[in-house]
Amino acid sequence: MAYDRRVVGERLSVDIPGGGFTVILGPNASGKSTLLRSLSRLLKPSAGTVYLDGGDIHAMRAKEVATRLGLLPQSSVAPAGISVFDLVCRGRYPHQSVLSRWSEEDERSVRRALDQTAMSDLADHPVDELSGGQRQRAWVAMVLAQESSILLLDEPTTFLDISHQVSLMDLFADLNRRSRRTIVAVLHDINQAARYAGHLIVMSGGGVVAEGSPEDVLTTELLAGVFDVDAAIVEDPVNGGPLVVTRHRGRAVATGTENRKVIP
């Protein structure tokens, strides 16, 4: 993969499990967002092919891709003065044609997306008057209204407080479980990734350094080598998976952690 002939990723080969919840992890400038842009058709690889359901994604019409794949980019700019409702309605564009009219199904999809993101009460508000967190939820609602079978999410919890982070990640997990939507998210929070993902991709220096289940991928060696942190991996008391606990350099470890079970 390259930007203006500058190579930012080489020999990349990933397989996204259909119907799974995949999280891409890595330090800053490791290639996470670039990989997501390639998967979404926004960035064409300088060599190789991105396949969507067995077909070359760059040989497909944009509207065809949009009915099957929804993307939440890292940053988006809404037209000046547009309301939350009108923004979310734009998620229905891939399902429209020149001759089609706004349908009851379109209306239901938009209302459901607003409800799922707790934005119904703000539907009539201008997007540019919202807080950063509210604006992020409005964009998420637009992607949900698209009702594609694949969701690509670039740092979806950015700007959100902890309550809305949990609500949104729970929503994505629920969509994955109930409707088998394929979720691919770029996250910075390793523990959040371990709690929600069934499949992790860890990147560093533009390449994939590890891939698999959180239990197999997250090791003390990987955390030190990729993220430059000294950490222990203990059992998450909520879901039993791996939980990363960093050791603070030059500071005593807080009491109450010494009896936690360490995962080898």
What per-residue confidence (pLDDT) applies to 102? 86
Determine the pLDDT at residue 254: 54
Higher pLDDT among residues 11 and 178, named by residue: 178
CA distance 3 to 34: 9
Residue with tokens 């879901």: 239
Indicate whether 257 pLDDT > 70.
no
Are β-strands 199-204 and 207-212 bridged in parallel, bridged antiparallel, or unpaired?
Answer: antiparallel
Tokens encoding 86:
């009108």
pLDDT at 114: 96
Rounded Cα gap, residues 157 and 140, in angstroms = 10
- Would 93 be classed as within a structural domain? yes
Instruction: Copy the structure tokens of residue 45.
Output: 């690889």
Of residues 4 and 193, which shows the higher confidence score? 193
Helix segments in the chain, DSSP class H: 32-39, 62-68, 84-89, 104-116, 132-145, 162-179, 190-196, 214-217, 220-227
Cβ atoms of residues 1 and 38 within 8 Å: yes
Tokens representing residue 182 in the block? 């394929």
Predicted confidence band of residue 263 (pLDDT cuts 50, 70, 90):
low
Q: What's the pLDDT score for residue 14?
A: 87
Instruction: Note whether residue 4 is domain-resident.
Output: no
- Interval 205-217: pLDDT, tens: 888 999 999 999 9
Encoded tokens for 64: 């065809």
Summarize pLDDT for 2-47 with one digit per residue, the tens: 444 555 556 678 899 999 999 999 999 888 988 998 898 888 877 7
Phi, psi of 195 (to 5 degrees): -75, -35
Q: How many domains does the chain have?
A: 1
Task: State the Cα–Cα distance between residues 165 and 181, nearest whole angstrom.
Answer: 19
What's the pLDDT score for residue 5? 54
The residue among 3, 25, 48 whose CA lies nearest residue 211 is 25
Task: Flag whether 31 is in a domain.
Answer: no
Domain that holds residue 108: 77-147
E strands along 68-123, which residues? Answer: 69-72
Q: Do residues 25 and 202 lie in contact, with contact meaning Cβ atoms separated by under 8 Å?
A: yes
pLDDT at res. 186: 96
pLDDT for res 18:
93
- Is residue 244 domain-resident? no
**Domain-located, residue 245:** no
Residue with tokens 């990723």: 9
Average pLDDT, the chain: 88
- Residue 259 scores a pLDDT above 60: no
* H/E element, 193: helix 190-196
| Cβ-contact 176, 20 below 8 angstroms | yes
Q: What percent of the chain has pLDDT over 90?
A: 58
Q: Report residue 258's pLDDT band, with 50, 70 and 90 as the boundaries.
A: low
Nearest partner of 150 among 209, 94, 215, judged by Cα: 94
The pLDDT of residue 160 is above 90: no
232 is a domain residue: no
Round to the nearest angstrom and report the end-to-end CA distance of the chain. Answer: 36
> What confidence category does residue 62 fall into, taking pLDDT thresholds of 50, 70 and 90?
confident
